[in-house]
Amino acid sequence: MIYNIPYFAVIALILIGLYAILFRRNLIKIVIGITLIESGVNLFLITLGYREGSTAPIYTLSPGGIMSMPVPQALTLTSIVIGVAVLALMLSFIIHIYRHYKTLDVRKIGGDD
Amino acid sequence: MNIMDHLPALVVAVPLLGAFLTPLVGKVNDKLRNIFVIFIAGLTCALVFLLANQVFTDPDGIITYVFGADTEDTLKSIAEQGNPLVRILFEVDGLSAFMAIIGSLLPLVAVIYSWSFMKEHTGLDKYYTLILLMTAGMLGMMLTGDLFNFFVFLEITSIASAALIAFYTDKGKAMVAGFKYIVISSIGALFILLAIAIFYAQYDALNIAVIANNIQYGFLDKIALVLLIAALGMKSAFAPMHMWLPDAYGRAPASVTFVLIGTTLASLYGVLRVCFTLYGKNLAATGSNLGSLNLTPGFLLGALLVVLAIITIFVGVFMALKQVDLKRMIAYVAVAEIGYMLLAFSAVLISLYGGTSPNTEVVSQTALKGGLFHIFNDALDIGLLFLVAGAIYYATKETSLNKLGGLARNMKYTTIFFLIGLFAASGMPPMNGFASKILIYESTYQVNPILSVIAILCSILILAVFVKVFHSVFLGPEHVSLKNVKEVPKIMLLSMAIISGIIIFFGLFPDVVVNNLISPAAEALTNNKIYISSILGVI
């Protein structure tokens, strides 16, 4: 049971993120929801590759024993980098939207400018 | 080193390199930069045609390219040891090559069109960089044989497209459309990543062929299927997840919209790849019985998609009827066209795995060819209409139907191109839309007559929509403000003429296209054993 806690955390993060995206009215909070989902997925990937008592797969002269899988970590790294780019783009959109409409409320934006 | 061996890598590498060289060339001279971008887009297109020729003449109809190692050695070691693959592979089969032709043709025409269309704007270095990045991402999605690679290219495409949709930063609505698109795309991409993680956890592989060979269709695989179809369906605008498309298509510059059609179709390609190749083995598995029907996974998937298809067609057509903005109206028709393709592919699934119709083989092949042909035709027809809408905007600075009128007097060539697009999009002979829609009507009639009745009626409604547009924009009295409208520059007419030429050619000689382009793609879709055995040896 105790080993499944990361998976529950993954599900919780993704659901909280989806809730924020679907029900929050503030654009910044929607973006936070997306980053929460992203953290959940990244945590899932990392958890998949981890084995109890394993060392990080970066040593040439490892202390022995098992190592965690390097591939999910490489995938997570790629995903984090992409996530940063998306986050930056979304925030710059929000800045522009705020300049046009002087609000971040989704109900008030999108009208004629 | 033979350059022909490295075509799959070059197809993605050339636009990628070109994208980052564009700002440097732009420092020298604007005209030189435009020529450079057209050259890069043309080179990409030529490379894709060479690659497609290689694929179509290949005995197996599939080309595998391994990054960072010799292809032959890698495949041999996999066949001998069956070790899990860490290397990134490109697998180009008939379907990938067919989609890549669309994906390279659209940006080429778009950059030619942009020469005049975007001339008065600043920031064009970045604009062209993003267009080429979009091209690279789109082609990567279509060619890759690795799921994680697919995700990366999907994100490249999404980021570049979102930035381009919001090109008119002085308009608030364009910014909102861009924000909507990036939110939708990033949620979709994260779902896809989650599905990829589920596959990796179970099968210790990221390669599509390896996963397709090992897939068990257990509980986790069903979750992954739902995630993939939902995410890719959202990106290819299946109703009720279509709401981003009219905003994105309507607010982006016309040349960007033209390339955006390609990215939407690339996501549709992802849906096909997932349904037919990744889960191909499981679709025919026996399910529970419901009366005389055997509920195989393929039949259930087809039934779900057919409902989505009908909703998509209805939503697209009926929302198009009430629009007053020309570009948004065309965008809703684009939604309806997506529905037609989906209808064809769900007809394939139902007739193959439902087992109710007597001549399954003929029906499924007809539907498949109709659907694939319609992918190309949709890109051309809707693309041409958007180019015309862009030309009208260029000449009048107006897209609202209420403020346009009598343009046929001054813009006679544009009027002709609009007529061609109108007939093609609503499926009138002798245009290409008719050639593919007749295949869809024929095959869906065999599955269920009601489906083809709905499809034909909605086509007529699309015609009604466009006749209304034609009347209010091109005929009728001239508006006072539009007295001095001039025909658009020749280079924009040229790009519209290229597309119109292809439309008429496809409409007059559909057999040539179906036999040379569509058949290999259809073969690649229905037989996923070739895809798997090209990596894992004969199974």
CATH of the domain at A89: 1.10.287.3510
Q: Which of A93, A95, A102, A106 to mutate to test the interface with B (most CBs of B within 10 A)?
A: A93
Instruction: Assess B148–A contact: CB distance below 8 Å, yes or no.
Output: yes
What count of Cα atoms within 13 Å lies in the side-chain half-sphere of residue A56? Answer: 4
- Say if A15 falls within a structural domain: yes
The pair of structure tokens assigned to B350 is 């139902």
Chain B interface, mutation test: which of A37, A48, A96, most B Cβ atoms within 10 Å? A96
C-alpha B298/C-alpha B114 separation (Å) is 43
Domain boundaries, chain B: 290-510
Kindly state the DSSP code that residue B289 receives in the 8-state scheme: E
What's the pLDDT score for residue A108?
A: 87
- Rounded to a whole number of angstroms, the distance from the CA of B58 to the nearest CA of chain A is 33
CA distance B106 to B161: 14
Q: Flag whether A107 is in a domain.
A: no
Looking at residue B290, the DSSP 8-state letter turns out to be E
Cis peptide bond upstream of A70, omega within 30: no
Amino acid (one-letter) located at A109:
I
Spatial CB neighbours of B159, under 8 Å, sequence gap ≥ 6: A85, A86, A89, B182
Nearest by CB to residue A48, choosing from B163, B175, B201, is B201
Give residue A9's pLDDT.
95
Per DSSP, B431 falls in state: S
Residues of A within 8 A of B166 (CB-CB) are 93, 96
Inter-chain contact B187–A37, Cβ cutoff 8 Å? yes
Tell me how far apart the alpha carbons of residues B273 and B252 are, in angstroms, rounded to a whole number.
28
Percent of chain A whose pLDDT exceeds 90: 64
**How much is the pLDDT for B312?**
94
Of A82, A85, A93, the CB nearest to B179: A93
CB distance B462 to B423 below 8 Å = no
CB contact under 8 A, B172 and A30: no
Rounded to the nearest angstrom, the minimum Cα separation between B493 and chain A is: 32
| CB-based contact B75:B209 (threshold 8 Å) | no
CA B284 to chain centre: 27
Q: Considering CB atoms only, which of B152, B173, B186 is closest to A78? A: B152
The identity of residue B32, as a single letter, is: L
What was the pLDDT predicted at B26?
Answer: 92
> Which two tokens mark B537?
């040896």
Averaged confidence pLDDT in chain A: 89
Chain centre distance of CA A74: 15
Query: Omega into B240 within 30° of 0, i.e. cis?
Result: yes
> Could you tell me if residue A88 is inside a domain?
yes
Residue B236 and residue B209 in contact, taking contact as beta carbons nearer than 8 Å: no
B148, B172, B197 member nearest A97 (Cβ): B172
Could you list the pLDDT tens digit for every one of the 539 residues in chain B?
678 888 999 999 999 999 999 999 999 999 999 999 999 999 999 999 999 999 999 888 888 888 887 777 777 777 776 655 568 889 999 999 999 999 999 999 999 999 999 988 888 999 999 999 999 999 999 999 899 999 999 999 999 999 999 999 988 899 999 999 999 999 999 999 999 999 999 988 888 988 998 888 889 999 999 999 999 999 999 988 899 999 999 999 999 999 999 999 999 999 999 999 998 888 877 767 766 677 788 888 999 999 999 999 999 999 999 888 999 999 999 999 999 999 999 999 988 887 665 678 888 889 999 999 999 999 999 999 999 999 999 998 888 888 888 888 888 899 999 999 999 998 888 889 999 999 999 999 988 899 999 999 999 999 998 998 898 888 888 877 777 888 889 999 999 999 999 999 999 999 999 998 999 999 888 888 888 888 877 65
> What mean pLDDT is predicted for residues A65-94?
91
Write the DSSP symbol of residue A53. T
Gap between the terminal Cα atoms of chain B: 32
Which DSSP string corresponds to B122-147?
S-HHHHHHHHHHHHHHHHHHHHB-BH
Q: Let me know: does B55 contact B92? Beta carbons within 8 Å.
A: yes
Q: Is residue A6 part of a domain?
A: yes
What is the rounded CA–CA span in Å between residue B191 and residue B194? 5
B389 touches chain A (CB under 8 A): no
A90 close to B (CB below 8 A): yes
CA distance linking residue B155 with residue B149, whole number of Å: 10
Decide if B182 and A86 are in contact by the 8 Å CB cutoff: yes
Query: Does residue A73 belong to any structural domain of this protein?
Result: yes
Minimal-distance CA residue of chain B relative to A101: B172
CA distances (Å), origin A80, targets A75, B14, B187: 9, 26, 14
Mutate which: B169, B190, B226, B399, vs A, most A CBs within 10 A: B190
- In whole angstroms, what is the distance from residue B492 CA to residue B483 CA? 21
How many domains in chain A? 1
Closest by CA position to B372, among listed B459, B435, B309, B442: B435
Q: Which residues on chain B are in Cβ contact (under 8 Å) with A110? A: 172-173, 176
Whether the CB-CB separation of B346 and B302 falls below 8 Å is answered with: yes
Q: What is the pLDDT of residue B446?
A: 87
Supply the range of the domain harboring residue A8: 2-55+68-101
Alpha helices (H) along B29-93: 30-57, 71-81
| B160, B133 Cβ separation under 8 angstroms | yes
Residue B356 Cα, gap to closest chain A Cα (Å): 40
Closest CA in chain A for residue B202: A48
Q: What is the DSSP letter of B517?
A: I
Beta strands at B89-93 and B289-290: parallel, antiparallel or unpaired:
unpaired
Burial class (CB in 10 A: 0-12, 13-18, 19+), B31: exposed
Helix, strand, coil % over all residues of chain B, rounded to 5: 80, 5, 20
A108 CB near a chain B CB, below 8 Å? Answer: no
Whether residue A49 lies inside any domain: the answer is yes
